[in-house]
Structure 1
Amino acid sequence: MILRFTLPYRTQPGQRLVVCGSLPALGQWAPEAALALHYDEATGHWSRELELPADQAEGSYKYLLLDERDGGRHWEWGPNRLLPTADATFSRLVLADWWRAPAQPENELFTAAFTEALFRRPTPAAPATPTTTGPAVRFQLTAPRVAPGEQLCVLGSDAALGAWDAARAVVLSDADYPTWTAEVTLAAPAAEVRYKYGRWNPGTGQLVELEAGDDRLLAAETDPQTLRVVADNQYRYLAAPWRGAGVALPVFSLRSRRGLGVGEFPDLKLLVDWAVATGLQLVQVLPINDTVATHTWVDSYPYAAISVFALHPQYLNLEAVAELRDPAARQELAQLRDELNAKDFVDYEPVMAAKWRFLRQLYQQEKRAFLADADFHAFRQEQAAWLVPYAAFCGLRDRFGTADFSQWPAKFRTPTQAEALTDEASTDFDEFGLFFFLQFHLDKQLREAVAYARERGVVVKGDLPIGIYRHSVDAWTQPELYHLHQQAGAPPDDFSTTGQNWRFPTYNWEQMALDGYQWWQQRMGHLARYFDALRIDHILGFFRIWEIPAHSVEGLLGHFSPALPFSQQEIEQRLGWFDYGRLCEPYIRWHVVQEVFGGQAQAVFDEFMDADEHGVIRLKEFVRTQRQMEAVINDKLAADPNHEEYYGWLRAGLFGLANEVLLVPDDQQPDHYHPRITLHLSRSFRELDAATRPRLQALYDDFFYQRHEGFWREQGLTKLPPVRWATNMLICGEDLGMVPASVPGVMKDLGILGLNIQRMPSDPSTEFGNPGTAPYLSVVSPGSHDMSTLRGWWEEDRAQTQRFFETILGHWHEAAPFYCEPWVVREILEQHLYSPAMWAIFPLQDIVALSAELRRQDPQAEQINVPSNPTHFWKYRFHLPLEELAKQAGFNGEVRELVSLSRRQQVY
């Protein structure tokens, strides 16, 4: 077989194209041994012909652009190409390919969100019939954006392509969707052929439209033994880029009549049904991993998973597992359901107590059949890498009363006993078998719900937390992958003026890189088992994370990691001096103590501070750090619980003093320092001399806005690609907060959608974002789970609301209504729906705010999380059963009309 590669591509001097692939002639995926192509200046084509032995007819390949100017290697976008097969009649294959350019917006239409759900082909046609006579042409077009009830066709000047008669167009097969194919033997192969692709309605047997642009050209070819495979560039749509709309709500917040006081995986089907009824095409949820560490309400925090693979027990529907055989137990379960469902919030501890109690009964009842179930054994074998240590961890957690494995007996502090503990022959197996039973049924119920959504053209979008819990299976089994002595968080922002401390360990990226980030790829692969789209929480963490020392409670004394701290010498050169005590220790003077503690200043000083002869005040040894302060205050509060407010005030004052530093020492490099975040807001900064303040401010601005841009871009381009390309999910990044300038460009290059929240614009010079200026590869939303709802926000700051009412909604010189009336909500939602962004996603609370009858009475009760509160109870539950929401025909029709008018319900 003679194989000829041909590709039109205009290169620049110093650039050249090669073909790299699985065959020896293509370098076996080694770029340095790839097949070099030759360039024809006249045609602008790169091409090369080679002869292959008969036993090497199958393989895969990809084009690679080599840039000799900087040594760059740039692969074309997309999966590996497969070498086409051909009938034995043909001795020559011509591959007429097109370069698949990366960073193109339409590339995201090839992700699973579109191919598995939105444009899903329920019944693919039969494969294209291969031709046996030549010269023949195999037309091959990649195009995912085709309505399920339509097909593509090719129409052209040759009689075999209909001679431009629309009724005789050649219909393409979608057997290899999103690739469409058809094979023809041209009637006049010696003539140049003009052709175009079009949309075809198989029901009417008519051409719907021809694609935009000039005719495509096919050169003459008279050799009867040649098969040309024309792998054309994407379909050229007449319509605007595709846009969709979705709804966001945590699974635990779903309310249904069959739930046990909390949303469960089968409830997703009800939300999907409502989405279909309202024209919405995506359902977004929060993380769903198991967070059971303490068996208290603290475990309600969905971002502190004890396993990045296991699912949370609260989402299991017990009846979907099996019916309880004990009549008394069935009656008690029914009674508990009524009691827990009557509450207006998720009462986490009673809900979980009920789940565990009846789950254990079901396990004992179904144990024999479960352990004999071939499906379970297949699940256990397939998921063993995480499932076995998870089951062992959970059993030991409950046996020893803590998830902190450092407190377990020495023989269990590492996972060496996991296999033995989970052996079915073990006398203690039931301690661990319960968790096999639990995860098998959770996995089954979630996959059923996702399959239900896909069949109805609805995308289910998951959420990947940036961190892991320090007392987790992941830390127990692979502690080398994390910096367990550090804490991850976020610098101060609109959510919290003192920063956020998530208390997660930070990642040891150097260790993770040794095996090509296998942990991340396994994690992403597991999420792709359930989701076709994914939100990456705090994607900025792949560029740099806010790392907080173990002795801090708040986030102000953290620093970015990795970073390029200033050396003491550089600081001395730029400030003109360096004094560790003045710059790096808390700045406390008597007037500061008086300002913070008022009439209690002397008493607080006597108990917690010392002063030297120069008036410099230092905290006493037992309260030098915020962790020490926290412990002391907690002891006082335990002994005197009636004065909780006073001790909270005292703790806040002491924490504030600990934060009064200007430089934070680096924990890796001696005599290197990071400027403290927001140092210009500190008393310490205000009381510097007039010459030092501008110099230190310049140092600060350089550090946070200039010094690291290239460095952090390199970090993102190193860590994100293995995560991004581990699956075919549509990836969206939560890129809010203090965003490095390099982040948007890296995300665009990788096809990762950004997030645009109207109340938190990326442009610091504007107060509110404008959805109308959002880029196509983005998600627009009026809020997130970390914010108050539209109605709640509207009532928080009257002056701000008035400015928004005038500048964003255009109601100049009008008084904003006191409450966020339904017509105001409608205007805001319409702004987002008409945005050019690929997705407009709305919290369900904001959608229901369109109806004065359906909205919740108290908008403040609708906020899901308060980021400034590290011990927030995640208990929000939607106030209406989804069965009731489905019956609201008038309201649902109004939502559907809004979506339809914005053309977010259209395939084209």
Structure 2
Amino acid sequence: MNILLNIAYNTAFGEELVLNVINGRENGADVVTPYRMSTSDGKVWTYSLKLDAKTGEYIDYYYSVVRGESNVVRKEWTVAPHRLELGAAKGGRIVAYDRWIGIPDNSYLYSSAFTDCIKRRRLSALPPSDHVATLRIKVRAPQLRGHERLVLVGNEVTLGTWDVFKGQQMYEHNYNEWVADINALKISGKTIEFKFVAVDVADTAEILWEDRFNRTIDVPVLEKDDIMVYELDDAFFPIYNIRCAGTQVPVFSLRSRSSFGVGDFGDLKKMIDWVALTQQRVLQVLPINDSTTTHTWTDSYPYSCISIFALHPQYADLNALPPIADKAERERFEALRQELNALPQIDYERVNNAKNEYLRIIYEQEGKTVMASAEFKAFFKEAESWLVPYGQYCYLRDKYGTADFSKWPDHHAFDESERHALSVQRNAAYKNVAYYYFVQFILNSQMADAHEYARSKGVILKGDIPIGVNRYGCDVWQEPRYFNLNGQAGAPPDDFSVNGQNWGFPTYNWDEMIKDGCRWWVRRFSNMAKFFDAYRIDHVLGFFRIWEIPYNAVHGLLGQFSPALGMTREEIEAYGLHFQEELFTEPFITDWVLDRMFGERAAMVRDTYLEPAHDGRYRMKPEYDTQRKVEAAFEGKTDKADTDLRDGLYALISDVLFVRDHRDPNKFHPRISVQFDFIYESLYDSDKFLFNKIYNDYYYRRNNQFWYREAMNKLPKLVEATRMLVCAEDLGMVPDCVQWVMNELKILSLELQSMPKDPSVRFGVLSRNPYRSVCTISSHDTPTLRQWWDEDASRTQDYYNNVLQKYGAAPHPLPGWLARDIISRHLLCPSMLCILTVQDWLAVDESIRLADANAERINIPSNPRHYWRYRMHMCIEDLMEAHDYNQNITDLIKESGRM
């Protein structure tokens, strides 16, 4: 079969077009065969393919622009590539006229969140025809709702002569793309005039005409068996934008009558039922990956995963497994389950120990049968690349009693040569790790089932991708080249923490990751698409630059953005500030500083921790000259006097005006938030003015273009790796380039009224929220609405009078009627998604909400050792039976016009 592909594209000098035919997917990425195209005028590019084709076969492809041999300067949007059916050609030729497809403004309509959860139309292959010569029309109509199909209506008899009910039926052969074959020999004129019409499948009287002038096509002269394919501009209909409501709740926080002291994947299905019952469309959860390093409560931090693929064993729904055969054991576990499930919060250690013990028993009882099944073998084949290292990592972690693989007597990194022994059942090495394979099979099966259940209910499951991984986790152990272990990822100071946040994660070696096309990330996103139809990118700023803290620091103040354009001495002095390297880069410690910080303890601090330097200044003694050394010296000392002293020493060490670049000692970065420290206070006013100019230029202007290019080297590959709906957490110290990239890639932003992005307002204006955004009131990192209301009385009063426009004193605590009013205003905003925490939804009903609002807090970001143990205070079954409350929520959603 001969296929001639044509596309109009004006190239610049030195550029060429390449046709990329997709041959499948491998490790989450397309496998393509590239073909260099030809042109006679630099405007229309062509390529002739010769292929064998059978009925029902098709090819997917996209175009790219290259300069030189392989420098891709631009490519089409690969989420929805061109599709061309081949089987209808009976020995003739196919001539296709394509149009360049960039990422559209409505790209979200191509996401699986919309196509598979909201619209839920089945794709239908283009049926074979017996036309002697065929004119094929292709058009994209992403606005169509789930109950609508497309009809082609025009001035010819074969097009119904403008009668919709006699028009040409079209087929959705690819997501949002419709196609129809017209018998060219039945066209009487040289030109056809037509429009596209949306027809309601359930009520064919409900029709909607395309909102534009009539389209025209000059009918070409076709030979026998020829197919001429025209790819047209998108159809547009006057259909309002879809807006959805949803709930955010961690899986571990779910509570049902049958759960085992912690939420599980069975509870997730029950929560999906409640979301669907109240006519919500989104259920958002926190990360569900395994975070087990110590088998203690410190592993409760869900953003510190040990594997980007493995799921946490605590989420196994034990009710979905065969019962324990031994009656006494079965009764013992049932009594323990009831005890743990009655607790107001999660007892992380007891729950996980019990669940692991239970899973071990089931493994001994059922493992041989399960692992001989076709389902397990298919799972193992698909997951083998990550599952084998994960299994060995878990075995060695438990064997040696630590996740710190540098302390293991051997296996300091994964040895690829051992993979075979760990993959064959008859080997002893396999028997050591088989339990971990078994558990992951159970977890993957149950989560995939929950995902399919959500789709069947029309609910979008939204996941969360943490920006970091545990430095002692399996990912670092398996592929250390992707990580910088001499740094720690965190966040600069913000409303959550005046000292910044130190997450402890290693930073990424992006140079190494980009070498292989960000394969590690692409695999991560592709694996996540098995379980979710939307996702939140945690701390999207990390793809522009990460806040990197030296490993010898505890707080975040000594960090610097990485990558970033550090400043040379000459650049600093060009602003007029005389650069005194030692004064500006060494801790500023003097007698007056010590007196101010430590008061009557100043002499003790001077004698114990300091030594004289020069000119009345001191330096830290060598045994205390880093925050890590101070931390070690105060280990186990928890009374307030000791912790205040320790924190004061931390502050002394971080009191510098500039931080030396971590990689180039001849470059410097203004220390974040130094305006609150003594070194800044000691400057002359003229030097303060000059420093502030340097500071503002550095943090808000200098790196903008640089960070834009950094993000565009990474994010496009990841956004196009799946069809999940892409949302991002873009709060904090946000440079201008973040909005540039998110607009270019059509990523949904996060909007919190209490944390406005416009610095000129105290509270965000909800009516100004962009459509492409997620609106919320609180998150797992912030106080709930009820907590926020009582946190700052003057702020609440301002909000009550000036935002809610209500008179008098603000009532405390927050009454249910007022919580309903606040939620109603959020639901009415333009944002595509309004997703509220389950705590905030419950706030509207004083009869069912938890009496103690402070018990609803999930995380306190300023505390790196926070215990993540919040659970819903009521069972999902009871929530389902709260009919008046559920009707209240349903009414709120209906009143807002959300679906």
Q: After TM superposition, is the score higher than 0.5?
A: yes
Distance, in Å, in 1 between the alignment partners of 2:67 and 2:621 is 61
Q: Which residue of 1 aligns with 2:177?
A: 179
Q: Which residue of 1 aligns with 2:27?
A: none
- Return closer, same or farther for 1:411/1:249 CA change in 2, 3 Å cut-off: closer
Distance, in Å, in 2 between the alignment partners of 1:741 and 1:872 is 32
2:791 is paired with a residue whose SS is coil
Deviation at 1:55, TM superposition (A): 4.7
What does residue range 243-642 of structure 1 map to in structure 2 within 5 Å? 243-411=243-411, 413-415=413-415, 417=418, 419-420=420-421, 423-427=424-428, 429-612=430-613, 614-635=615-636, 637=637
1:358 is paired with a residue whose SS is helix
Deviation at 1:461, TM superposition (A): 0.9
Q: RMSD value over aligned CA atoms?
A: 2.6
Deviates more, 1:477-486 or 1:164-173: 164-173
Q: Is the Cα–Cα contact under 8 Å of residues 465 and 537 in structure 2 kept in the other structure?
A: yes
Q: Which residue of 1 aligns with 2:669?
A: 674
- Per-residue deviation, residues 93-126 of structure 1 (Å, max 9, x unmatched): 3424333232x321221112112222122x555x
- Return closer, same or farther for 1:130/1:370 CA change in 2, 3 Å cut-off: closer
- Return closer, same or farther for 1:806/1:30 CA change in 2, 3 Å cut-off: same
Quick one: which of 846, 856, 859 aligns to 2:853? Answer: 859
- Per-residue deviation, residues 191-247 of structure 1 (Å, max 9, x unmatched): 432222222233344342222222222223453634332333333121222222211
Q: Which residue of 1 aligns with 2:208?
A: 209
Deviation at 1:362, TM superposition (A): 1.1
Q: Is the Cα–Cα contact under 8 Å of residues 23 and 56 in structure 1 kept in the other structure?
A: no
Distance, in Å, in 2 between the alignment partners of 1:299 and 1:403 is 11
- Return closer, same or farther for 1:56/1:573 CA change in 2, 3 Å cut-off: same
Deviates more, 1:323-332 or 1:129-138: 129-138
- Return closer, same or farther for 1:369/1:53 CA change in 2, 3 Å cut-off: closer
Residue 889 of structure 2 corresponds to residue 889 of structure 1: no
Deviation at 1:791, TM superposition (A): 0.8
Distance, in Å, in 1 between the alignment partners of 2:658 and 2:878 is 57
Q: Which residue of 2 aligns with 1:819?
A: 813
Distance, in Å, in 1 between the alignment partners of 2:750 and 2:253 is 22
Q: Is the Cα–Cα contact under 8 Å of residues 421 and 429 in structure 2 kept in the other structure?
A: no
Deviates more, 1:891-900 or 1:441-450: 891-900
Mind listing any 5+ residue stretches in structure 2 that lack a counterpart? Answer: 24-31
1:212 corresponds to which letter in structure 2? D
1:157 corresponds to which letter in structure 2? N
Deviation at 1:380, TM superposition (A): 1.4
Deviation at 1:377, TM superposition (A): 2.0
Quick one: which of 161, 165, 175 aligns to 2:159? Answer: 161
Q: Is the Cα–Cα contact under 8 Å of residues 517 and 722 in structure 1 kept in the other structure?
A: yes
Quick one: which of 789, 799, 802 aligns to 2:794? Answer: 799
1:20 corresponds to which letter in structure 2? L
Deviation at 1:19, TM superposition (A): 6.0
Residue 217 of structure 2 corresponds to residue 218 of structure 1: yes
- Return closer, same or farther for 1:199/1:572 CA change in 2, 3 Å cut-off: closer
- Return closer, same or farther for 1:702/1:176 CA change in 2, 3 Å cut-off: closer
Deviation at 1:858, TM superposition (A): 1.3
1:513 is paired with a residue whose SS is helix
- Return closer, same or farther for 1:749/1:424 CA change in 2, 3 Å cut-off: same
- Return closer, same or farther for 1:435/1:456 CA change in 2, 3 Å cut-off: same
Deviation at 1:141, TM superposition (A): 2.8
Distance, in Å, in 2 between the alignment partners of 1:308 and 1:148 is 34
Normalization by structure 1: what TM-score? Answer: 0.92
- Return closer, same or farther for 1:87/1:563 CA change in 2, 3 Å cut-off: closer
Mind listing any 5+ residue stretches in structure 1 that lack a counterpart? Answer: 40-45
Residue 866 of structure 2 corresponds to residue 839 of structure 1: no
- Per-residue deviation, residues 145-194 of structure 1 (Å, max 9, x unmatched): 44443322222222222212233233323354433233232643424322
2:195 is paired with a residue whose SS is strand
Deviation at 1:60, TM superposition (A): 4.6
Q: Is the Cα–Cα contact under 8 Å of residues 565 and 666 in structure 1 kept in the other structure?
A: yes
Q: Is the Cα–Cα contact under 8 Å of residues 283 and 462 in structure 2 kept in the other structure?
A: yes
What does residue range 689-708 of structure 1 map to in structure 2 within 5 Å? 689-708=684-703
Distance, in Å, in 1 between the alignment partners of 2:197 and 2:368 is 58
Deviation at 1:6, TM superposition (A): 5.5
Q: Is the Cα–Cα contact under 8 Å of residues 493 and 500 in structure 2 kept in the other structure?
A: yes
Q: Is the Cα–Cα contact under 8 Å of residues 14 and 67 in structure 1 kept in the other structure?
A: no
- Per-residue deviation, residues 511-548 of structure 1 (Å, max 9, x unmatched): 11221211111111111121111111111111110000
Distance, in Å, in 1 between the alignment partners of 2:113 and 2:650 is 46
Deviation at 1:144, TM superposition (A): 4.4
1:266 is paired with a residue whose SS is helix
Deviation at 1:90, TM superposition (A): 7.5
Quick one: which of 643, 656, 659 aligns to 1:664? Answer: 659
Q: Which residue of 2 aligns with 1:762?
A: 757
- Per-residue deviation, residues 432-487 of structure 1 (Å, max 9, x unmatched): 22111110100010000000001111111111111111111111111111111110
Deviation at 1:849, TM superposition (A): 1.1
- Return closer, same or farther for 1:15/1:180 CA change in 2, 3 Å cut-off: farther
Q: Is the Cα–Cα contact under 8 Å of residues 164 and 197 in structure 2 kept in the other structure?
A: no
Residue 774 of structure 2 corresponds to residue 784 of structure 1: no
Q: Is the Cα–Cα contact under 8 Å of residues 309 and 526 in structure 1 kept in the other structure?
A: yes
Distance, in Å, in 1 between the alignment partners of 2:438 and 2:61 is 43
Q: Is the Cα–Cα contact under 8 Å of residues 567 and 668 in structure 2 kept in the other structure?
A: yes
Deviation at 1:724, TM superposition (A): 1.6
Identity %: 38
Deviation at 1:47, TM superposition (A): 4.7
Distance, in Å, in 2 between the alignment partners of 1:140 and 1:690 is 68
1:467 is paired with a residue whose SS is coil
- Return closer, same or farther for 1:464/1:419 CA change in 2, 3 Å cut-off: same
- Return closer, same or farther for 1:852/1:658 CA change in 2, 3 Å cut-off: same
1:280 is paired with a residue whose SS is coil
Distance, in Å, in 1 between the alignment partners of 2:12 and 2:406 is 60
Distance, in Å, in 1 between the alignment partners of 2:412 and 2:99 is 57
- Return closer, same or farther for 1:462/1:729 CA change in 2, 3 Å cut-off: same
- Per-residue deviation, residues 677-722 of structure 1 (Å, max 9, x unmatched): 0111212101112221111111111111111111111100111122
- Per-residue deviation, residues 244-266 of structure 1 (Å, max 9, x unmatched): 22111110011111110100011
1:196 is paired with a residue whose SS is strand
Q: Is the Cα–Cα contact under 8 Å of residues 117 and 458 in structure 2 kept in the other structure?
A: yes
Q: Which residue of 2 aligns with 1:42?
A: none
1:758 corresponds to which letter in structure 2? Q
Deviation at 1:51, TM superposition (A): 5.9
Deviation at 1:137, TM superposition (A): 2.7
Q: Which residue of 1 aligns with 2:192?
A: 193
Distance, in Å, in 1 between the alignment partners of 2:614 and 2:140 is 79
Distance, in Å, in 1 between the alignment partners of 2:85 and 2:413 is 54
- Return closer, same or farther for 1:413/1:781 CA change in 2, 3 Å cut-off: same
Q: Count how many residue pairs are aligned between Structure 1 and Structure 2.
A: 882
Deviation at 1:882, TM superposition (A): 0.8
- Return closer, same or farther for 1:731/1:50 CA change in 2, 3 Å cut-off: closer
- Return closer, same or farther for 1:615/1:83 CA change in 2, 3 Å cut-off: same
Q: Is the Cα–Cα contact under 8 Å of residues 300 and 867 in structure 2 kept in the other structure?
A: yes
Deviation at 1:730, TM superposition (A): 1.3
Q: Which residue of 1 aligns with 2:769?
A: 774
Q: Is the Cα–Cα contact under 8 Å of residues 59 and 84 in structure 2 kept in the other structure?
A: yes
Normalization by structure 2: what TM-score? Answer: 0.93
